Amino acid sequence: MGNFLQFTLIYNKGGAMGTNFGSPVYYLVASSIILVVLLWYLWSHRSRMSIAAPLALIAGGAAGNIIDRLRYGQVVDFIDMDFFDITLGSFQLQRWWAFNIADMAISVSIVYLVFIGLFGHEPESSEQSQDESQAESQSSTT
């Protein structure tokens, strides 16, 4: 697809967007701990689908990246897209970081969770709405 989308094999020993806060072991241990906490939180909120679904995608993406780190010692990135250039002071980004499908699941889910956290509430289930309307009608008749 021209220069916009390319498949480029990149091995990422660091973290998201090329960060490097420590050794590959640090990223493996930190992401494993985060995954355990995330799975616990997902389990405790499993009935809230608007929260559980994106958390499951984040957990799946994290697990995929952990598997890469265990197998290869680094994460395999291959999707190379060129969206738009960013200039912030002396920092210039002319081509975006390469990523993989796990990264995409994590990123889209985080954006979704931030969006519903800032701008909206999760939709009510139809059963919950029916239960509330029945409770209201019973309390108004008594």
Taking Cα atoms as reference points, which of 72, 73, 63 lies closest to residue 103? 63
SS3 24: helix
Q: Is 103 a catalytic residue?
A: yes
CA distances from 13 to 38, 41, 51, 68, 112 (A): 22, 27, 30, 10, 27
User: How many angstroms separate the CA atoms of 100 and 127, rounded?
Assistant: 38
Task: Tell me, yes or no, if 77 is annotated catalytic.
Answer: yes
Rounded to whole angstroms, the Cα distance separating 141 from 136 reads 9
Catalytic choice (82, 85, 103, 131): 103
Query: 68, 77, 82, 131: which is the annotated catalytic residue?
Result: 77
> Rounded to the nearest 5 degrees, what angle is found at the Cα of 84, between the Cα atoms of 82 and 87?
125
Catalytic residues: 77, 103
